[in-house]
Every structure is written in C-alpha cells, then in structure tokens.
C-alpha cells in the first residue's frame, strides 16, 4: 500500500475573511451523529482523540484503536480555525493529504480524517445557527 502524500499546504477554497468586528461563528465537529463543540478563540483549543475530554461524550470513540489518545487539536489564529496533528501514530488528514503542520479548516471547504483509509474516522465541520443546530 502506497503512503498518502504529505501536505505542505493545501489548495482549495479559502475560508471567508471576517473583519475583527464580526463575531466568530459557532462551529462543531460531527461524528456518527454526535456533535463536538469547537471552542471559541478565547476558550483555548479543542482536542480530538480517544482520551480527549472534548470527545468523552462520543459513544465508542474511546474504543477506536486507530485514534491516538491525543490525536489532533483545533485552534484559532487571527480569526481562522486550524487543525494540527499532535504526533499521532496514524496521522491527521485534510482532503486526503496527511498534514505535517497546522492547516486551515472551514465548514464546507475541507474534509478532516483522523487516521488513514480504510480505518479513517471522518469528522464533518459544521457552522451552528443561533439555536445550536447545524446550518
């Protein structure tokens, strides 16, 4: 099996630019029907993995051996959301490319997997409306 390409930077549509006066949108990751809220810029990072407190409520996630205990994290920088691998065994992938440094994410523009196919665990990044439901 050939190893997937490693990303230096990923092409694709840029996330919408927001002025500092605009409110940061509420985002969440969806996995098998469970939502993992993405912390806002002032709230710190959102950690993903088998033992990540942010994922503790997701049924069965702790039993997935293809995920590292601390696999990846989402952080905000200059109003934009980034994902970074935390030295996981099976890698973090954006649009099918293994990342080696933080990569920008935005709902509807990129696909996020933890581990590689066929054991990959796909997370869908969504924007939430004012009621906390995906748009």
- Residue 91 scores a pLDDT above 50: yes
User: Distance (Å, rounded) from C-alpha 44 to C-alpha 59?
Assistant: 24
Q: What is the pLDDT of residue 19?
A: 46
- 61 φ, ψ to 5°? -65, -40
Hey, what are 12's tokens? 């694709």
Q: Are 122 and 111 in contact (CB under 8 A)?
A: yes
Q: For the segment 22-75, what is each residue's pLDDT rounded down to a tens digit?
A: 567 899 999 988 999 999 999 999 999 999 999 999 999 999 999 999 999 999
User: Distance (Å, rounded) from C-alpha 114 to C-alpha 122?
Assistant: 7
- Residue 1 scores a pLDDT above 50: no
DSSP state of 132: S
- The pTM of the full predicted model, rounded to 2 decimals, is 0.81
């Amino acid at each position: 099996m050939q190893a997937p390409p490693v990303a230096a930077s990923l092409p694709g549509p840029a996330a919408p630019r927001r002025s500092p006066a605009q409110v940061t949108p509420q985002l969440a990751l969806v996995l098998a029907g469970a939502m993992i809220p993405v912390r806002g810029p002032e709230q710190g990072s959102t950690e993903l993995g088998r033992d990540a407190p942010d994922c503790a409520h997701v049924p069965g996630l702790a039993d997935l051996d293809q995920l590292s205990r601390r696999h990846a994290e989402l952080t905000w920088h200059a109003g934009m959301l980034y994902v970074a691998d935390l030295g996981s065994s099976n890698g973090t992938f954006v649009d099918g490319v293994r990342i080696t440094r933080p990569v920008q994410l935005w709902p509807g523009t990129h696909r996020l997997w933890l581990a590689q196919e066929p054991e990959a665990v796909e997370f869908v990044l969504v924007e939430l409306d004012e009621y906390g439901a995906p748009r």
